[in-house]
Amino acid sequence: MGEKKTNALSKSMKLIYVYAMATGAIFTFMCYWDGIFMSYTGPGTFLAFALMTLAVLPTAFVYAEFSTMLPSTGSCLVFNTVGINKHAGFWSAWLIMCAWIAVPAAGVLGIIEWLNHQFGLGLTGGKAVIVGSLVLCFWCVLSLYKNVVAGKVQSFMLMAGIAGILICSLLFLFSGHWSIANFADFFTSSNEKQWGGNFATGIAWVVGCSFMITPYFGFETVPAMVEEGDFPIKDQKKAILGSVITCGAIYTIFYFCLAGAMPWAELTNGGDCHPFITFEALQYCFGDKIAWFVLIMGIVGVVFPIGTSVLGFWYSGVRMIYAMGRQNFLPKQFSYTNKYNQPTLPNILILVVSIGFIAMQSITAFFDLMAFACALCYVITSISSLVLLKKHPEWERPYKCATGLKIVSLIIMAIIAFFCTIGIGKATWLGFAGYMGVGLILWLYMILIKWKHEKVWMKTPDEEKRLWIMKELEIVIKPEKLENLKRILDSEGARGVMITTIFGYGHQKGAGQVYTRDETPGINLLPKLSVRTVVKDEIVEGIINKVLEELNTNSFGDGKIFIKDIEEAVKIRTGETGNDAL
């Protein structure tokens, strides 16, 4: 079969698969970024995770309301375009995509480093790029296949990963080495040397804690899959809140057990952020006799969490790009899907970008970049929720987030973003500036060129306020005015017409004169032409003005113009949709 170009997604995702996708996306690189977590927030890492779970929940509640009120692929793109404007929608989507697109490259880097650590393969330089590219191609193929398959694969990896992490936690707790004494210098942090003095410890720990938002972003992937769910819209909140709470509980338990297994300075080498400290702690507690379990933990604690996270963000990133193409934030071709109803070009784009990102070798730069971008996106979305509550309190909200929680979400995310700016290094700022520079060029292109000719559109609960992108004009005229009308339509950009000969009458009942009150005219059916055309919304006004200017003879029977909204158009030969089908 050839590729099927349409803009429809398949409704085949069960709630458990959406929950697995979201939890898998959040479920961080547990045994790869463990060195970063423990270096940034010391023995108190488990507390940092507990606090961050509570800090993220208000934002999760905001997304739960948005996703049930505006159930459309695109999440923050949709939420912030409807809540504020298209510019807020564009930049919030660009920010969250910064975090989402960085995940596949960071994940591949983690797997390669684990292979080198475990088997001494020496995969560096060109070898690392080749192996990483092959892994990325596997994820791309999986994402292009049926979404149910992707959901089942992720569910298996997620459950195996969680089981391995919990077993490892119990081993640490009952190893005989676990001691409360290892929690000395509870709030120490590798960041404190940047400030100096006793005050530095508190600031450094708070900065490190702020970066802990990175292991939590991912719950916003649920709205990205809403159009593919075969469950009630209101149940989305279960997947969003359940994913945050599940991961927060696992993080807290695991890092409590890990922190007590060895002294912090020895475990983290003084806070140098090196990876795989979990495996070093296992060897410290049990020696070489547990080497087999270290290998298993490498699979379920590194490969599986990375696999679930990458697949979740890859899948959601594809849907974000798909939504941007469908709703005129990117070229329409990005909304075309294959025979499995999976977006084609977005998958290829993320594959290409991810292969390019492999060259960025700093795991801390990845980590910090994701945290800052997510916090900024959540700030915009929290503002949007408050604005929309004021603008449209009448809109139905299957799940309603309290106004107080929206305010708390805004304040918390603004604080996190602020402390992230304090801790971000030069390399991360350069990478962020480059990424935002690309976004700026694209944004200016949309403003100066594309949006002048084609408007963005969004579905809202209020159909009367929907932003339509196409209009049908039915212009009823005298037959002798057809050539004039054809010339007008052609000059204004109408790409085709449908002409029907009709007979009828209007207010004058077909009469060509004005009758007095006492006279009763007969009814005459006069010949007319009905000229129908479907055009872009932005050229409607120009057509109407020219018709009124050139076809108006100030006589009875000049005709009428009827205007209708057109939701969608599909060209049968090519499958093109929307304005491209006209």
Helix (H) or strand (E) holding 168: helix 147-173
Instruction: Inform me whether the pLDDT recorded for 173 exceeds 90.
Output: yes
- Mean pLDDT value of segment 70-91: 87
What's the pLDDT score for residue 309? Answer: 78
What's the pLDDT score for residue 517? Answer: 53
Q: Report residue 224's pLDDT band, with 50, 70 and 90 as the boundaries.
A: low
Q: Report residue 521's pLDDT band, with 50, 70 and 90 as the boundaries.
A: low
Instruction: Inform me whether the pLDDT recorded for 440 exceeds 80.
Output: yes
What's the pLDDT score for residue 195? Answer: 47
Instruction: Inform me whether the pLDDT recorded for 199 exceeds 60.
Output: no
Is residue 382 within 8 Å of 358, Cβ to Cβ? no
What's the pLDDT score for residue 197? Answer: 46
Q: Report residue 5's pLDDT band, with 50, 70 and 90 as the boundaries.
A: very low
Instruction: Inform me whether the pLDDT recorded for 126 exceeds 70.
Output: yes
CA gap 540, 577 in Å, rounded? 19
What's the pLDDT score for residue 466? Answer: 45
What do you get for the CA distance between the two ends of the chain, in Å? 25
CA 400, 406, 412, 413 dihedral sign is positive
Q: Report residue 422's pLDDT band, with 50, 70 and 90 as the boundaries.
A: confident
Instruction: Inform me whether the pLDDT recorded for 1 exceeds 60.
Output: no
What's the pLDDT score for residue 217? Answer: 78
Percentage of residues of the chain with pLDDT beyond 90: 30
How far are the Cα atoms of 1, 319, 374 from residue 97, in angstroms, in the given order? 32, 11, 9
- State the residue for tokens 């003005």: 545
Question: Which has the higher per-residue pLDDT, 470 or 39?
Answer: 39
Side chain identity at residue 325, one-letter code:
G
Q: Report residue 106's pLDDT band, with 50, 70 and 90 as the boundaries.
A: confident
Query: Any idea what DSSP says for residue 27?
Result: S
CA gap 300, 288 in Å, rounded? 19
Helix (H) or strand (E) holding 127: helix 125-144
Q: Which range has highest mean pLDDT (265-279, 295-309, 505-519)?
A: 265-279
Question: Which has the higher per-residue pLDDT, 515 or 87?
Answer: 87
Q: What is the DSSP string of 178-230?
A: --GGGGSSTT--TTGGGT-SHHHHHHHHHHHHHHTTTTTTTTTHHHHTGGGB-
CA gap 18, 67 in Å, rounded? 13
Q: Which range has highest mean pLDDT (56-70, 114-128, 206-220, 397-411)?
A: 397-411
What's the pLDDT score for residue 462? Answer: 67
What's the pLDDT score for residue 534? Answer: 93
- Sequence-separated (6 or more) residues with CB below 8 Å from residue 472: 532, 533, 534, 563, 564, 565, 566
Is residue 28 within 8 Å of 309, Cβ to Cβ? yes
What's the pLDDT score for residue 572? Answer: 84
In a 13 Å sphere around the CA of 519, the CA atoms on its Cβ side amount to 9
Residue 357: phi and psi, rounded to 5, are: -70, -15
- Mean pLDDT value of segment 427-444: 84
- Mean pLDDT value of segment 359-382: 79
CA gap 348, 338 in Å, rounded? 12
CA gap 73, 93 in Å, rounded? 12
Instruction: Inform me whether the pLDDT recorded for 174 exceeds 70.
Output: yes
Instruction: Inform me whether the pLDDT recorded for 84 exceeds 70.
Output: yes
What average pLDDT does the chain have? Answer: 82
Query: Any idea what DSSP says for residue 260?
Result: T
- State the residue for tokens 């929307």: 578
What's the pLDDT score for residue 526? Answer: 87
Comparing 321-335, 339-353, 396-410, 455-469, which segment has the lowest mean pLDDT? Answer: 455-469
Comparing 110-119, 328-337, 469-478, which segment has the lowest mean pLDDT? Answer: 328-337
pTM of the shown model: 0.71
330 SS3 class: coil
What's the pLDDT score for residue 570? Answer: 84
The beta-carbon contacts of 207-210 under 8 Å, at least 24 apart in sequence, are: 207/40, 207/419, 207/420, 207/422, 207/423, 208/39, 208/40, 208/41, 208/42, 208/48, 208/423, 209/40, 209/41, 209/48, 209/51, 209/52, 209/419, 210/371, 210/375, 210/415, 210/416, 210/419, 210/420, 210/423
